Structure 1
Amino acid sequence: MRKQLTTLFFGATAVLLSSCGGAKVQHDSKNELRASAYPLVTIDPYTSGWSFTDHLYDASTKHWTGKDLPLIGVAKVDGQSYRFMGDEDVELITLVETSEQAPWTGKYTTQKPAEGWQNLDFNDAAWKEGEGAFGTDNEPTAKTEWTTDYIWVRRIVDLPEDATQRKLYLNYSHDDDVIVYVNGVKVVDTGNACKKHVSAKLPAEALAALKPGKNLIAAYCYNRVGGALLDFGLSYEEEGQRSFEQTAQQISADVQPMQTLYKFACGPVNLDLTFTAPLFMDNLDLLSRPVNYISYEVTSNDGQSHDVELYFEAGPQWAVDMPVQPSIAESFTDDNLVFLKTGSRDQKVLAKKGDDVRIDWGYFYLAADREDSQCAIGNGQELRKNFCANKLDASKAEGRDRLALVRNLGNTKEAAGHLLIGYDDIYSIQYFGDNLRPYWNRNGNESIVSQFHKAEQEYDILMDKCTAFDNQLMREATEAGGRKYAELCALAYRQAISAHKLVEAPNKDLLFLSKENFSNGSIGTVDITYPSSPLFLIYNPELAKALMNHIFYYSESGKWNKPFAAHDVGTYPLANGQTYGGDMPVEESGNMLILAAAIAAVEGNADYAQKHWDVLTTWTDYLVENGLDPENQLCTDDFAGHFAHNANLSIKAILAIASYGYLADMQGKKDVAEKYTQKAKEMAVEWEKMANDGDHYRLTFDQPGTWSQKYNLVWDKLLNLQIFPETIAQVEIPYYLTKQNKYGLPLDNRENYTKTDWIMWTATLAPDKATFEQFIAPVHLYVNETTSRVPMSDWVFTDTPEQRGFQARSVVGGYFIKMLEGKLNK
């Protein structure tokens, strides 16, 4: 097995290397999937920039949390400016105050009202009156207590004569789902979300419905769980703040595994813009290099030469947690590169942890060839106006300086070039008290400037290698699971990798630490590692080990002394011990054992498991005692809550015990192998009796008439353990197809939501490619149509195109399980 996989892996590398000579490598085909969000800059959980809109210029680029990471791009052609990326920040003037600006009152009810409640002429005399905001006592702005599931609020506002002629914005904060109307016209419908201080431009229909005098803002909000909040007002944009009103025309957007490609028309020239992250997993120094590329190619579309300049601007938000934090900025040159740099003024390294938190130590950089480049730092509005006036300077902005870089392409019919964009986080992770540098500087002998120079020197060869890799991955994924499957894998690739940070532990262990994005912010979570692992098992099993090393160390060092595996080692980026509120004994122990067996299958030996044999034995014995019929506890789908007798969790325990037997056999421990393999087979027989519900198998052993996806069963197939009868999958797969909704197969009978990564695993149990594709098509449709414009969510509804929760998580690495099956079978 090891020889076969090694041949495949290095064969792929050979294809990449051979492609680098001669003509520039081109992509074979376009990804037709409309991404829920487009990856732009993907380095790690902190330096992560995305476009949440169909057109790159529709809104500011954002961090995966939804906070703005401003990155503006403008092409000036013969003196005309065309904005192709991002949006200008403008000052909004308050017109109707939110509760943080002034007291306001409205009518409200917590009982579903009659139709037409959102219209101005509705009779709300029976409604209560309360002061905004509405919410629970944990929200400091809440003035009227709201603790029920639903609330409807009507607020009459007086508008002056000229208000309807302005660019108006709805300002709102909410927890959770909110729908807001202006004079009966829907302006906002968030689905399941929780945000504060959002400004949404009123669409033309809503503006047309406004009139001088009395108007109505009406809002509905659904408090799903925990805290509740509803607050809203209006603001307007002062004229004359924008310099780049005219946008380019976006022709296409295309997400490939390592690259996102845009095509624009900017008047008489076309612009191709490509964002590239060279995330090659067989080169860890390159994988961890904190530098991405923004490439551009300009061609005349009328056969004439044109004067062309490209303007790029970045905000200090790339290097601070909150926009109000003061920053410093500078520019400098080094050899052939010009650099722009920004970072927080305080530089409190590794001082923060949490989920909805961005980095505020270290420094963000833009760089380019110094020839034909101009740069400036200062007030953003001045920089833009002065660029339009053919000069580039601005006054200082008191800790809010923007970075501006201009590339002068001259009078030309065609031109090409690139920028480099990156981040130096100085120290990345605190690991049981030790502050660890990023892997690229693990020995302290590198600098961020040296990394930029390496990236610049390797640009040509890496761009060709990235394109060749994209083509090969798409071909292999299409062969394995069809074109729609391949398009989902392309969108998953950078998301899965950049949700981790690569560092080296003091004992020289390689650590590839995940952040549990948009969930709870845990670091190194085992039940994030488990679904993420297929991607890394395919491309470099050393990274799969690096997903596990910290958990082995936690137990073997005595810092964790329970007889089962820990859930996590802290809250990102502080990995000092588990911070999650509850244990998942069967879940996490099963995950670690199965992945140890998967690594052995890929490598063709059990050397890694042998290093950790004592603790693997402890966890296995725990599962022998407690795994067949699990007590009331959480599994990886912890959002569904605690429950006992979980049939799918039991499968995991049984296959984990079988994995231990598999590993023992590879080490020549025949007696041990026979004992535990036989035990797993005996437990599987009992499982089949307890879970059998006629034409399918139950969610829990004690509840007839229930069902669930048995996605854990996939490892019996992939590792050829032969523990469960093949008839179980043969019964389940047709049954699942009867339960599919428009956007996917529900996780189980309790709710209409699902986990898209588990659908991939369940689909891999299918007997043929055609059946596999029947499960994939609804997931592809969801991503293509979702109204939740965020980096791919793995927890979504199956009856509506909305996320249920989670986004930008590494678990989409689990999409690659079908490709992993092909590697293992070969």
Structure 2
Amino acid sequence: MKLLSVVAAACAVGYAAAASLFSPARPPAIPLAVKSPYLSTWLSVGSDGGSGGYLAGQWPVHWTGKTTAWSGMIRVDGTVYQWMGNPGAPNADQVSFIYTSTQSIFTFIIEKKVQLIVTFLSPVTPLDLKRQSLEFSYMTVDVSSIDGKTHDVKLYTDISAEWAAGEQDAIVEWSQDDTRHTAYYKVSRRDQIAFSESDEPDGNGMADWGSIFYASDHGRLLTQAVGQDSVVRGMFKDRGILNGTFDTQFRAVNDRWPVFAFSHNIGNVGSQAFNARFTIGLTQRQAVQFLGAQGLVSLPPLWTNYFADELEALDFFHNDFTNMQSISTDLDRKVAADSIAAGGMNYLAITSLSVRQAFGATELVGNKDKTYLFMKEISSNGNTQTVDVVFPLHPIILYTNPDLLRLMLDPLFENQESGHYPNRWSIHDLGSHFPNATGHSDGSDESMPVEECGNMLIMTLAYAQRANDINYLKQHYKILQQWAGFLIDDSLIPANQLSTDDFAGRLQNQTNLALKGIIGIGAMGEIAKLTGNADDAARYSSTAKSYIAQWQQLGIARDANPPHTTLNYGNNDSHGLLYNLWCDQELKLGLVPQEVYKMQCDFYPTVRNKYGVALDTRHTWTKGDWEMFTAATCPPSTRDMFISDLAAWISTTPTNRPLTDLYDTITGDFPGVLFTARPVMGGTFALLVAPATPFQGKKRAAPGAVDLGGTEGTGASLRRKRNRRLQ
């Protein structure tokens, strides 16, 4: 393909991009229709089998890697070109690609005659729950003449039955009809299995229930057909229109590959653009099973509380394009302006690519009186509402609408406060396989006790601070106090256990994990203060301060050159990203001395690899979310190092799946563990939520053993525990 020099100016989002084919970067995968764990289709880009960033020539895929065939062709003065997928025609000449937080925009020039602009808009409307709850996405196609002449133009697109089932031998059914504003297809798996995924027990599949809709404006220019892929596409190639064929033989996805096609017989096109709009979406009447205060209940998607049925929802969405585009564009502008101000264009390349991925792992369910925001731990194991995945997600939630964090925390509190979890510490997740939030009444969830207690205390306070919701702290004070008590006993000297980086294995005396627990205790001190529990506030705050003093003695290799924190106590040749330090900054606790911040930020450049700083000394891999947490704690020189390295990886990695948070800092490839499309990339917004402040040179807390606070005898017990584990 000829690469024209393009000044890619994203006018809709108000920032200028570089004169290159891809802007602001060439991502590993491009989001096309990304609205939920099950409506999540991407274009693979990276060199490990990707398209290189060209929309034509390769089929889009679900985040699982399964094909969700979506094709587009255009006929200009009798000659046919393909602009999406691989329906069997010459490729149209793509000259630019731009992405924003909510849009992916491809521009084509055809025979120097016609310009074709294809825009995929997956609206993100965090302040408007009605619109955010709809699992629909837009594709718009604008066609105009660029040579001063008129041209005969016809436009074609279809989707295959692969969208409706994750298994190619599954039988699908379909229908075709009109609403007030749209002509649509409805495609469904014949044997519906609610709350089930095609690839269970891995937890990484497409939904076995619900219906896919594909719609466009109806009118005299529109023709349609349903049938075998080669037959229907051949009809357009030969004649430029579809003859209305409706295949009634319901069958398996891979049995003559049924497709559902639209063609716009545009006719003469001049300099004034013709616009065609398409809507693709998923509807389900039940979304999540939840074990809460009312026992086990089935929760509907939130959109069912606003619309009488799926057709009313479809019609509303399709006709609401102007509003959806305006709201989403406002978000695009805000993310662009804030990101550039905070970290430059490299940072914008990271944040804007993370938005749809982060929100695309969530789903609003319930009703107007009791709404929940559930999240799937995409790809790493498929858990529901995993606390240590909600945690790296939560910066983008705070940035866009803090109330959404409450909707994510609510089901975690409700399940445990209703007596459905027997352990003293916080639950790890609400279910092994999304969308089943059935809890762990036997207490057999993956055990990360210090990690999850710290996460819950930190996130609850972070929400209350930004939403000014002290009543929320009062409502959950008892269980927060329970978790803080556990941290008092177990966080300073963590037992051999997992942290959120469980793929690296168990380890005792983890320096970064201990820090999270101590900050959790400090958060409880602030919670107690805000709720008027002065005695508790003094006790928790005193304990956190004394623990931090001891933590500095245990977890810092002071004789190293340069000094730095260790991976685990006493292992002075080790190091790791101290990303939990950001929590102290986020909550404005002032618990950790500024000299620790400075020491770490001075150290990271000394262990930098090609694509960043390794997560710790056990491997050369790192995680992009934790890199951005860490960058947010540092002054511009080190901060920009982290940002530029991650942006360079995004643009050059051979990986071809949605933004992989775990990658190798030397090769840029997968490290043997494939974490793809995960919501944790919402953590890239840490810098926008709580940026670093100039170092003040605050002196280190006094070293040595001090009164540990808490219950009588706790100090001596912990000292014995520390000595025993360090032996």
TM-score (structure 1 length as normaliser): 0.76
- Give the counterpart of 1:477 among 335, 339, 347: 339
Matched, 1:317 2:162: yes
Counterpart of 2:490 in structure 1 is 626
* SS at 1:273 equivalent: strand
Kept after mapping to 2: 8 A contact 1:691/1:697? yes
**Which string of whole-angstrom CA distances, capped at 9 and with x for unpartnered residues, describes residues 22-81 of structure 1?**
xx9564333320011000001100110100031011310000111100100111111211
Contact kept, 8 Å, 1:718 with 1:824, in 2: the verdict is no
Alignment pair present for 1:532 and 2:393: yes
Matched residues in 2 for 1:755 and 1:386: separation? 48
Deviation at 1:374, TM superposition (A): 1.4
Distance in 2, Cα, partners of 1:653 & 1:336 = 55
Q: Select 1:709's aligned residue among 541, 561, 577.
A: 577
What is aligned with 1:234?
none
User: Could you tell me which residue of structure 2 aligns to residue 42 of structure 1?
Assistant: 34
Counterpart residue number, 2:653: 786
Q: Point out where structure 1 has 5 or more consecutive residues left out of the alignment.
A: 1-23, 89-243
TM-superposed CA distance for 1:769, in Å, is: 2.7
User: Is 1:723 paired with 2:591?
Assistant: yes
Q: Classify 1:25/1:687 alpha carbon distance in 2 versus 1 (closer, same or farther; 3 Å).
A: closer
- Give, as a single letter, the amino acid of the residue that structure 1 aligns with 2:666: D
2-structure distance, mates of 1:633, 1:555: 22
What residue number does 1:815 align with?
684
Residue in structure 1 matching 2:206, options 353, 358, 362: 358
Q: Distance in 2 between matches of 1:572 and 1:654?
A: 31
1:442: Cα distance to partner? 3.9
User: How far is the alpha carbon of 1:388 from its aligned partner?
Assistant: 1.7
1:636 aligns with 2:497: no
Match of 1:329 in 2: 174
Counterpart position of 1:775: 642
CA distance in 1 between partners of 2:192 and 2:229 (Å): 23
In terms of mean alpha carbon deviation, does 395-404 or 52-61 score higher?
Answer: 395-404
Contact 1:315 1:402 in 2 (8 A): yes
Whether the 8 Å CA contact 2:178–2:184 is kept in 1: the answer is yes
Residue 262 of structure 2 is matched in structure 1 by 405
How far did 1:818 drift? 0.4
- Residue 615 of structure 1 aligns to which amino acid in structure 2? I
Aligned-pair CA distance for 1:351: 3.5
**Residues 27 and 468 of structure 1 are in contact (CA less than 8 Å); yes or no, is this contact kept in structure 2?**
no
Structure 1 equivalent of residue 283 of structure 2: 424
Decide whether the 8 Å contact of 2:43 with 2:55 is kept in 1. yes
CA distance in 1, matches of 2:387, 2:149: 58
- Quote the residue 2:242 is aligned against: 392
| Separation in 2, partners of 1:446, 1:774 | 52
Partner residue, 1:28: 15
Secondary structure at 2:564 match in 1: coil
Other-structure match for 1:145: none
CA shift at 1:398, angstroms?
4.5
- Aligned partner letter, 2:38: Y
Q: Deviations over 1:660-685 (max 9, x none)?
A: 11111112222211110110000000
Instruction: State the shift of 1:812 in Å.
Output: 0.3
Q: How far apart are residue 505 of structure 1 and its match? A: 7.3
1:564 Cα deviation after fit: 0.6
Q: 2 CA distance for matches of 1:42 and 1:476?
A: 23
Q: In the TM superposition, what are the counterparts of 1:232-243 in structure 2 within 5 Å?
A: none
**In structure 2, what is the Cα distance between the partners aligned to 1:755 and 1:26?**
28
2:477 alignment counterpart: 613
Kept in 2, the 8 Å contact 1:273–1:294? The answer is: yes
One-letter code of the match for 1:426?
R
Give the match for residue 284 of structure 1.
Answer: 129
Mapped to 1, the partners of 2:620 and 2:526 lie a distance apart of: 37
How far the C-alpha of 1:796 sits from its partner, in A, is 0.5
Deviations 1:446-467 (A, max 9, x none): 3221122222332123323322
Contact in 2 for aligned 1:477/1:819 (Cα 8 Å): yes
| Contact 1:340/1:375, CA 8 A, preserved across alignment | no
Quickly say closer, same or farther: Cα 1:505–1:682, change in 2 above 3 A. Answer: farther
Counterpart amino acid of residue 273 in structure 1: V
Please tell me whether residue 462 in structure 1 is matched to residue 324 in structure 2.
yes
**Contact 1:251/1:265 (8 A) holds in 2:** yes
Letter paired with 1:263: T
CA shift, 1:335, in A, is 1.8
Aligned length: 644
Give the SS at the match of 1:548. helix
| Equivalent residues in 2 for 1:213-224, closer than 5 Å | none
Query: 1:369 corresponds to which residue?
Result: 217
**Structure 1 runs, 4 residues or longer, greater than 6 Å off:** none
Q: Who is 1:96 aligned against?
A: none
- Tell me the equivalent position of 2:188: 343
Counterpart of 1:440 (choices 303, 323, 345) is 303
- Amino acid across the alignment from 1:546: L
Q: Distance in 2 between matches of 1:823 and 1:253?
A: 33
Q: Is the 8 A contact 1:442 1:503 kept in 2?
A: no
Give the Cα separation in 1 of the matches to 2:172 and 2:692: 49
Deviation at 1:299, TM superposition (A): 1.3
Instruction: Tell me the distance in 2 between the aligned counterparts of 1:574 and 1:740.
Output: 41
Q: How far apart are the structure 1 equivalents of 2:534 and 2:370?
A: 30
The whole-number CA distance in structure 2 between the counterparts of 1:408 and 1:34 is: 34
CA 1:824 to 1:306, structure 2 compared with 1: closer, same or farther past 3 Å?
farther
TM-aligned CA deviation for residue 440 of structure 1: 0.9
2:482 is paired with a residue of what secondary structure?
A: helix
**Pairs within 5 Å for 1:652-731:** 652-694=516-558, 695-731=563-599
- Give the aligned partner of residue 701 of structure 2: none
Question: Is 2:139 the counterpart of 1:275?
Answer: no
**Mapped pair 1:250 → 2:94:** yes
CA distance in 2, matches of 1:702, 1:760: 27
Matched, 1:415 2:274: yes
Query: 1:525-580, CA deviations, whole angstroms, 9 ceiling, x for partnerless residues?
Result: 00000000000011111211122112111210101021111111111111111497
Alpha-carbon separation, structure 2, partners of 1:815 and 1:648: 19
In terms of mean alpha carbon deviation, does 719-728 or 757-766 score higher?
A: 719-728
Select the residue among 495, 499, 502 that pairs with 2:364.
502
CA positional deviation for 1:349: 2.1
Q: CA deviation at 1:360?
A: 2.3
- Residue 68 of structure 2 aligns with which residue? 69
1:157-168 equivalences in 2 (<5 Å) = none
For 1:484-495, what aligned pairs fall within 5 Å after superposition? 484-495=346-357
Alignment match of 1:306 (pick from 151, 154, 158):
151
Residues 161-182 of structure 1: CA distance to partner in whole angstroms, max 9, x if unpaired? xxxxxxxxxxxxxxxxxxxxxx
Task: From the superposition, tell whether residues 26 and 765 of structure 1 become closer, same or farther in structure 2 (CA, over 3 Å).
Answer: closer
Contact 2:357 2:677 in 1 (8 A): yes
Q: Secondary structure at the match of 1:29?
A: strand
CA distance in 2, matches of 1:608, 1:510: 15
TM-score by length of 2: 0.86
Residue type of the alignment partner of 2:58? A
